Amino acid sequence: MSGFIDKIMSLLNTGKTCPQEEKCLELARIMLDKESTTEEQAYVEEHIHACSKCYENYEIEQAVRAVVKNKIENKEVPAEVVDEILSKIGS
């Protein structure tokens, strides 16, 4: 996991800037949430193909989501925890 964080930090510290970075990252997040319009998606796709900083941001956002999804996906909850939650809901 340390290598993953080192990679993120190196990408964030590249010194490259983009005047549209904040807008592009916001739209990229909306796109990754599958809530973007076709126009927003087209903007992000076109922009990240031309802008290395925004492409890096997009890749980082995708990687973070993949790690989080992997960590929370298919985790079995112990029966005791389920029982405790159900007892609290029922009271």
CB < 8 Å & 24+ apart, contacts of 30-34: 32/61, 32/62, 32/65
The count of residues in the chain is 91
State what percent of residues in the chain have pLDDT above 90.
Answer: 55
Q: Is 57 exposed, middle or buried (0-12, 13-18, 19+ CB in 10 A)?
A: buried
- Give the tens place of pLDDT for each residue, 55-66: 999 999 999 999
pLDDT tens for 25-46 read 999 999 999 999 999 999 999 9
Compute the distance between CA of residue 86 and CA of residue 55 in angstroms, rounded to an integer. 45
pLDDT in the model for residue 51: 94
In the predicted model, is pLDDT for residue 82 greater than 70? yes
Question: What was the pLDDT predicted at 88?
Answer: 84
